[in-house]
Chain A
């Protein structure tokens, strides 16, 4: 495959928050058509990685290419699913309104969403079994239902690459099954899905490939080769604390120097 058309290519990506380094020199080359999990402990920078790939958090160094393109133009082929807690669910919009937002990128500026957009939105709601709730205000849904609305919005985007931030967090078992089924279906269609996940117990079962992350990339590859005791210990274990401390210190020192 032409390397420049990889769904996602990340080179030496470095991000810091309030002068504290969060991600260090991340290199990734993601091949097309896979279900990939990002695994790591709390504060490992899993969400930060996704957000900085989407440019929501500015990076301090390195670059990101999506299907060979950099910057805003590249976002058109990406569907981003933020964490459920990141939005205000009291906002006065209905379920259908939210799903229609997935069509905004297609509609373009100044144009209203068309009948076709509405049809697609309804179809996507159907796929996540949320059609009966189309007119409901989003605050009146359960956590699992809210997550499914977010997923329907992502489906409506008809993207080729999906970045999902903890879609399984705080959802019921039925929703979790429905979501994983849907993700597998998307993968079958040749889409590439990168999913932040925190539950180690089912990670190996859910994902073909796994990215182990703790401030830096620990490992990336087939679930069989990466989801090993050794590498997990490296990701979650205490061996990295020295690295974190030194990184913190050097960041502080360099601040003093400037």
Chain B
């Protein structure tokens, strides 16, 4: 019967085959159980997490404990309907108490949840301890509700999990649009005549089903993990409710199967925590590696942005160096650039390598081979037009700020330092129109025009005519 122990002694491949061939009765029971559990909890978790009520599942799982104990005392056996009924009643009382506390006192929802959670849990522990000291309580395995134990899961248990899962899927599909609108905007839902409170209670009832049927597999404390983790993972992946629910249910299922598989391999570790660990691992994986919202790709993007800004600043510095001697030369020394950029020579060299790699410039060896600052940069046509574009953005923005926004001239430079990198073509055209294609910035410097960019140099006569 014991899945973990039956597996002992065989090698990894045969165990894997046995697990996934699905022929063992004990494997069938366990796998079906965790699939129902994962899907049911995953779906409910999707609704709970998006309503920002994650703690609610936790509270409910603790609140049903006294009910489990009383139900057990009533029937004096483990597999009975009275445990489920008892748990439902206790859960209902817990929910009722929470809304009562919220309505009639100034205690906040979070405190009310914590209050009910710990209070009911304490009562439950007391009752369970008493039961274990009773004659029939000894071998009852009632303590499985505290920590969970998947071995010994009966076909009847799996049936109840299946029914609960089916019920959840069915009811949330039928009332999907009503549940959606009450979750997003309860006031509006009420205004179109929906029974908001009733729908809320329906959702709590379904939540109670999923919690109670999962209780004996993972225990009171870890149930909330089954609700929260798959839904939280799904919320990183998608921002659409339907997709989120499907992801959440699938992730719950995958975690369930993975956890029970690892446990089956004979690691002698309990299945419940392994399921939760698998779920957490999935979360961490998605958190870091998701192709769009993952932390890794965000880091890459940020790095890319920083790099782009550095590159544009170097191009601008090249332009300014060329401008400094009235465009007499068409090369600039790295040493001068480093001074202008206020960076060290090795950094400057690195930057120039980036420019060369991007095909924005050539690097020419200086006369003095041992002195890297003597190396010179010469812009390619694309480098030139990029440099002009960025200088143009900077100066146009400065002029716009002084002329139209009435900034004092000595305040505009720092702002333009940031804005120059993000100004889109469309905005630039708009500013040009507003300022009617200006040639001089507030400091009297030339604003490179479209023509200058196209012809690839700035006419020194024009440059000279400016102060």
Binding site for B on A (CB under 8 A): 18, 51, 54-56, 72-73, 75-76, 78, 80, 82, 86-88, 91-94, 97-98, 101, 104-105, 107, 109-110, 112-113, 137, 139, 153, 157
Contact = CB atoms under 8 A, between A and B. Distances in A.
Given A76-B193, A92-B235, A93-B240, A104 B181 contact: yes
Contacts of B52: 88
Interface stretch (B184-192, B211-219, B280-288, B342-350): B184-192
B417 interface: no
A153 B184 CA distance: 13
A86 B240 contact: no
A105 B185 contact: no
B174 A98 contact: no
Contact of A105 (B50, B106, B192): B192
Nearest to A86: B187
Contact of A113 (B177, B190, B240): B177
A157 to B, nearest CB: 8
A80 B185 CA distance: 11
B178 interface: yes
B100 interface: no
Q: What is the predominant secondary structure among interface residues of chain B facing chain A?
A: helix
Contact of B184 (A18, A76, A98, A137): A98
B293 to A, nearest CB: 12
29 contacts: A18-B106, A51-B187, A54-B187, A56-B187, A56-B191, A72-B193, A75-B191, A78-B191, A80-B187, A86-B185, A87-B184, A91-B241, A92-B50, A92-B238, A92-B239, A93-B184, A93-B240, A94-B239, A97-B180, A97-B240, A97-B241, A98-B184, A101-B188, A104-B192, A110-B175, A112-B177, A113-B177, A137-B240, A139-B239
B147 to A, nearest CB: 34
B240 A54 contact: no
A104 to B, nearest CB: 6
A82 B188 contact: yes
Given A76-B193, A94-B240, A82 B184 contact: no
B244 interface: yes
A72 B193 CA distance: 6
B266 interface: no
Contacts of A76: 192-193
Which 7 A-B pairs have CB atoms at the shortest separation, nearest pair first? A80-B191, A105-B192, A137-B239, A82-B187, A92-B239, A87-B185, A54-B191
A53 to B, nearest CB: 10
Interface of B: 50-52, 106, 174-175, 177-178, 180-181, 183-185, 187-188, 190-194, 235, 238-241, 244
Given A54-B191, A104-B178, A104-B192, A92 B185 contact: no
B102 to A, nearest CB: 12
B240 A101 contact: no
B50 A101 contact: no
**Most chain-A CB neighbours within 10 Å: which of B190, B191, B239, B244?**
B191
A14 B300 CA distance: 59
Given A92-B238, A112-B177, A137-B239, A55 B184 contact: no
Contacts of A92: 50, 235, 238-241, 244
B311 to A, nearest CB: 29
A109 B240 contact: no
Contacts of B50: 91-92
A97 B188 CA distance: 14
Contact of A91 (B184, B187, B191): B184
Nearest to B52: A88
B432 to A, nearest CB: 22
A73 B191 CA distance: 10
A115 to B, nearest CB: 15
Contacts of A137: 239-240
B241 A75 contact: no
A23 to B, nearest CB: 17
Contact of B183 (A91, A112, A153): A91
